[in-house]
Amino acid sequence: MIKKKLLCLFGEPNTQNVEVSNVSPAVLHYLEPNPPTAKDKSAMLRCRECKKRKTRYLCPVCRERPGLCVHPCFKDHHSRN
């Protein structure tokens, strides 16, 4: 009797209803470390966005592979296009 009642309360399969984000860019941009060269093991790049700071990270998806600060320049750079 008690078991049946619990099933009624919790038996509905709503747990797989995963929300999908509405924002789906055509290409997903991300940051990856600037690959070290033979000359420079940790080559720093000038940030393309703020043009002030230096960063080790670049977006390999963008055509020019620009160097970008992790925050906030990465987001700023991609929210404009």
Long-range CB contacts (within 8 A, 24+) of 20-27? 25/78, 27/61
Handedness of CA 60, 63, 36, 57 (dihedral sign): negative
Q: How far is the CB of 78 from Zn ion (least distance, A)?
A: 5
| Residue 62 lies near Zn ion (rule: CB under 5 A) | yes
| Residue 45 lies near Zn ion (rule: CB under 5 A) | no
Task: Work out the number of other CB atoms within 10 angstroms of the CB of residue 62.
Answer: 15
Exactly one of 34, 47, 57, 67 binds Zn ion (CB under 5 A); that residue is 47
Comparing CB distances to Zn ion, the nearer of 27 and 38 is: 27
Structure-block tokens of residue 17: 């209803």
Q: How far is the CB of 59 from Zn ion (least distance, A)?
A: 3
**Footprint on this chain of Zn ion (rule: CB under 5 A):** 29, 47, 49-50, 53, 59, 61-62, 69, 73
